[in-house]
A and B are shown apart, each in its own frame.
Chain A
Amino acid sequence: MVNVSKKTTGFNDIVKKIGFPTIFIGGFWILLLIAGGALGISINTLLSDTIKRAGMNGILVLAMVPSIQSGTGPNFALPVGIVCGLFATVWAIEFGFTGWAWLFVSIAFSIPLSVVVGYLYGRLLNAVKGSEMTIATYTGFSIVAAMCLAWLMIPFKSRNMGWFIGKGLRETIQLDVIGGDKILSEFLSFTIGGEKGIIIPTGMLLIFFLCCFIVWMYFRSKSGIAISAGGINPKFAKSSGIDIDKGRIKANILSTIMGAIGIIVYSQGYGYTQLYTAPLMMAFPAVAAVLIGGASAQRAKVSHVIIGVIIYQGLFTTALPVANQLFEGTDLSEILRMVIQNGIILYALTQVKGGDN
């Protein structure tokens, strides 16, 4: 009788537990770091950049967890949430908010907007069960394209945002003018190891960890547990009276909110708010990151997000200078990104089990 499970011992078991892609890609990053060091690139700079970019992108990757857990797969429609965040940002600037006020108003306004949009989009997803990922991708694309029209026609007057000639908003809005540039990143930031050490953008990391905590808590609540069950075994959930459709909508709203907050944090870290077609492809790096962290298209944990975003951002921030040193002139790191990012998504797709048969 097989009642007693063997304790996880041995290399093979560890590999299975963490996941082969995570180890492979993580290992590759470590290799690049070592190579970088050998080539004379400052490891501290590499690590600082990694932490910075992980903090910038973290919440966007976190948005994947609710949607995966609820059974709708990774949120390829992340641009929908991003657009909500951008819209809130732009409003805040138009109303003249600067600095911390701008940050709080943006976030505060983005939340109710995301709730409404997330609800509507959640209804759409419930009508297309089985093809959520494909529909999500095209919904994301369509919304971004529709917003391009909106950005052009919106009658805002703020000098900081508009084109110098004609109507409509600029493609890129500089945040230093309104005091928003790196406002979170520099809050309480410090350096490890002296002047040329590793820079820790405390404020940004704090808000990232706060959001992680919120998501983690949510999935330990009655509602979150119900949603997770509905995502992996709808029959089981239904037999306990759970309304799966409602759960999917709730999860989608949470995911949209994360997307909105995520882009605000990203923008301040970057120093620019980018409109128009910039959000078009932003779902894919986030999807790839959570998958690299060990998630599958059906199950994801907050730990996958943290591990994944660090490895993903680390890999590509390290690859750029190393590749430039080794092979001048070619943008090898960009090619590497295309191959790894899309490759891991393809790999995850091959692991998706067919529907209920």
Chain B
Amino acid sequence: MSDNLLSLKHVSKEYSGNKVLKDINIELKKGEIHALIGENGAGKSTLMNILFGMSVIHTTGGFEGTIEIEGKEADIKSPHDAMAYGIGMVHQEFMLVPGFTIMENIKLNREITKPNLVSPVFGKRLETLDIKKMNMDTRQALDTLDMSIEEYVQVAGLPVGHMQFIEIAREIDKTGLKILVFDEPTAVLAESEAANLLNAMKKLAQKGIGILFISHRLDEIIDVADVVTVLRDGEHVVTKNVEDTNKYEIAQLMVGRSITIDREEGTNKNIVDETILDIKDLHVAMPGERVKGVNLNVKKGEIVGIGGLAGQGKLGIANGIMGIFPAKGEVKFKGKKSALNDPKSAIKSGLAFVSEDRKGVGLLLDESIESNIAFSAMQINNEFLRNSGMIKLKDSKKIRDHANKMIKDLDIRCTSSMQRVGSLSGGNQQKVCVARALTLSPELLLVSEPTRGIDIGAKKLVLDLLKQLNNEGMTIIMTSSELAELRSICDRILIICEGKVEGVLPPDAPDAEFGLMMSGSRHIEGREVNG
């Protein structure tokens, strides 16, 4: 009989042949704060989905392994089951209804009711709400967290820190709460609010609640956690007591891996010392990937990599430059000021973008390959058109010829240039996106998450393509969550953390350096880092 509150034993999960979790073993004791750290794709979200009985797990074949709560096996098939077992979760995105009061939010679907005249006939759902009792419970939960705010205040308009605490209050109000999971709780908080939250966490642990704390901030983990587990590529790397380790070691374990993508040696690239793109103080309002002041200087002919953990802002940079999301700051391309928030002018000046959102921003899924490839060049550079008097009609022959050329050059596997793009494989869809960008004859290509969702074999082809384009003179800015591919072809790599450039590293820098930068532990107060 273990004295473990929660035991995950040999937990594995496969999504259509792709193993995302391999034999994970984690133990959580009563009153312990157990941190979980890992890069993107390490498997943290999948593990939490399993613990919570989310339907996405069960509709894709379930999982292997067992979950034990206080020594007894638990069968969790829905969030409701998880709740019944005493597991609570504080999400990153707040599940709060703005138009309701704090009490109504905390008690959502767990309202306390009193029987009345009609409820015996029509059922429990018609019982009267016991507002008095619910207010009292809410008051108690808020007091536990040292929150003085009144329980009947509306949630809309409250500061973000308060909302986070209301989320927590909701969980601790649930009777029989044994285990509480925090998923990147300090991501949206200011420093003082984050400190409050960590204090609250310690308090809850003191009451005997076991806490699973998912975070990328090494400083916080060292500060508050008792035990830390590092996940990498779905594997359990190590579990250590925090007092037995340090930031450097954790960072290294987070990033270092045995599989690397080999870098081509010998191409001594002569990078001209001519700045082609100069970015100063870029701010981008991309939901989930906010950029808060990035400086970047790109030389003509180089391949610059932009990396960092999910949600830290790396994807926002390219999107901001290309006008997809609102941006402000100063961008100079080829010496001339480039207008922000104007996709047309960005493209016209010689920039092209392959978006990370392949199926959304990247493609018209129901249209043919040839229509997709020709689209941007037609709309912006007036190519592929025939002037018939007042009206510009599409030149089907030119479009087809060009598409066929692209299909040959990029080796796009399809039945014909008229095939619907939605029916292509991920890798080939990606190539169509690249083809569309190349049709614009850009001087600088921005490409985000180039090999996401593509199998190993096709990955190398896409990376080889980028390398080839670069050899032919194209400057490339590549944004990716996979450090390995950045290290395989980039000349230098920027790491973005908290919306700013945390540092720049050569591709062969030690793993630990990357890890520390990604978790923001190298941040020195006040010093601006330029890329």
Q: What residues make up the interface of A, taking CB atoms closer than 8 Å to B?
A: 1-5, 217-218, 220-223, 225-226, 229, 232-233, 235-236, 238-242, 299
What's the least CB distance linking A220 to chain B, in Å?
5
In the assembly, what is the distance between CA of A59 and CA of B274, in Å?
59
A124 to chain B, nearest CB (A): 25
**Bound complex: CA A213 to CA B324 (Å):** 35
11 A-B Cβ contacts within 8 A? A1-B413, A3-B424, A3-B428, A5-B419, A222-B378, A235-B360, A238-B343, A239-B343, A239-B353, A239-B361, A242-B379
CB distance from A269 to the nearest CB of B (A): 29
Please tell me if B523 contacts chain A, counting CB pairs below 8 Å.
no
Question: Chain B interface secondary structure, helix, strand, loop or mixed?
Answer: mixed
A225 pairs with B394, CB closer than 8 A:
yes
Among B142-150, B294-302, B385-393, B502-510, the stretch that binds chain A is B385-393
Q: Report the Cα distance A2→B345, complex, angstroms.
A: 37
Chain B residue with the shortest CB-CB distance to A4? B415
Q: Is A241 a contact of B347 with CB atoms below 8 Å?
A: yes
Alpha-carbon separation in the docked complex, A223 to B391 (Å): 9
Q: Flag if A220 contacts B394 (CB, 8 Å).
A: yes
A-B pairs, 10 with minimum CB distance: A241-B344, A241-B343, A3-B413, A222-B392, A240-B376, A235-B361, A239-B361, A5-B423, A221-B391, A235-B360
Chain A residues near B361 (CB-CB < 8 A): 235-236, 239
Complex-state Cα separation, A39 to B413, whole angstroms: 57
Evaluate contact between A236 and B360: CB separation under 8 angstroms. Answer: yes
Q: How many residues of B contact A (CB 8 A)?
A: 39
Which of chain B's residues have a CB closer than 8 A to the CB of A2? Answer: 423, 425
A222-B382, A232-B364, A235-B361 known; A240-B425 Cβ under 8 A: no
Cβ-defined contact, B357 with A235, below 8 A = yes
Q: Which of B322, B413, B414 contacts A239 (CB under 8 A)?
A: B322
Q: How far is the CA of A226 from the CA of B367 in the complex (A)?
A: 13
Residues of A within 8 A of B317 (CB): none
Chain B residues near A4 (CB-CB < 8 A): 414-415
Query: What is the minimal beta-carbon distance from A14 to any residue of chain B, in angstroms?
Result: 17
* Given known A225-B378, A229-B364, A236-B360, contact A217–B391 (CB-CB < 8 A): yes
Q: Out of A232, A240, A299, name the residue touching B379 (CB < 8 Å).
A: A240
In the complex, which residue of chain B has the Cβ closest to the Cβ of A7?
B415
Chain B, residues 353-390, CB within 8 Å of chain A (1/0): the string is 10101001111111000010001101110100100000
Nearest B residue to A242 by beta-carbon distance?
Answer: B379
Whole-angstrom CA separation of A4 from B322 in the bound complex? 34
Q: Which residues of the partner chain B approach A238 to less than 8 Å between Cβ atoms?
A: 324, 343
- B449 contacts partner chain A, Cβ-Cβ < 8 Å: no
Cβ contacts under 8 Å, B357 to chain A: 235
Take A232-B366, A233-B364, A235-B357 as given contacts and tell me if A3 and B425 are in contact as well, using a CB distance cutoff of 8 Å: yes
User: Smallest distance from the beta carbon of B222 to chain A beta carbons, Å?
Assistant: 38
**Whole-angstrom distance between the alpha carbons of A218 and B419 in the complex?**
23
Question: Which residue of the partner chain, among B363, B423, B428, contacts A236 with CB atoms under 8 Å?
Answer: B363
In contact, B425 and A239 (Cβ under 8 angstroms): no
Q: Bound state CA distance, A242 and B343, in angstroms?
A: 8
Contacts A2-B423, A229-B375, A239-B324; is A222 near B394 (CB within 8 Å)? yes
Cα(A242)–Cα(B382), bound, Å: 13
CB distance from B46 to the nearest CB of A (A): 21
Closest Cβ of chain B: how far from A105's Cβ, in Å?
23
Please, which residues of chain A bring their CB within 8 A of the CB of B376? Answer: 240
Q: Is B420 an interface residue when CB atoms closer than 8 A count as contact? A: yes
Give the docked Cα–Cα distance between A335 and B467 (Å): 67
In the bound complex, residues from chain B placing their C-beta under 8 Å from that of A235 are 324, 357, 360-361
Q: What's the Cα separation between A299 and B364 when bound, in Å? A: 13
CA of A2 to CA of B419, assembled, Å:
12
In the bound complex, residues from chain B placing their C-beta under 8 Å from that of A229 are 364, 375
Is B70 part of the binding interface, using a Cβ–Cβ cutoff of 8 Å?
Answer: no
Bound complex: CA A30 to CA B419 (Å): 34
Q: Mark B431-468, 1 if CB is under 8 A from A, else 0.
A: 00000000000000000000000000000000000000
**CB-defined contacts of A240 to chain B, threshold 8 Å:** 343-344, 347, 375-376, 379-380
Chain A nearest Cβ from B438, distance in angstroms: 14
CB of B322 to closest CB in A, whole Å: 7
Alpha-carbon distance between A242 and B353 when the two chains are bound, in angstroms: 15
- CB neighbours (8 Å) of B322 from chain A are 239
Partner of B415, one of A5, A221, A233: A5
Q: A222: nearest residue on chain B (CB-CB)? A: B392
Chain A: which residue is nearest B396 at the CB level? A220
Judged by a CB distance under 8 angstroms, whether B173 is at the interface is no
Contact A241 B393, beta carbon cutoff 8 Å: no
B513 at the interface (CB under 8 A from A): no
User: Which residues from B are CB-within-8-Å of A236?
Assistant: 360-364
Report Cα–Cα, A225/B391, bound state, in Å: 12
Interchain CA distance A223-B353 in the complex, whole Å:
22
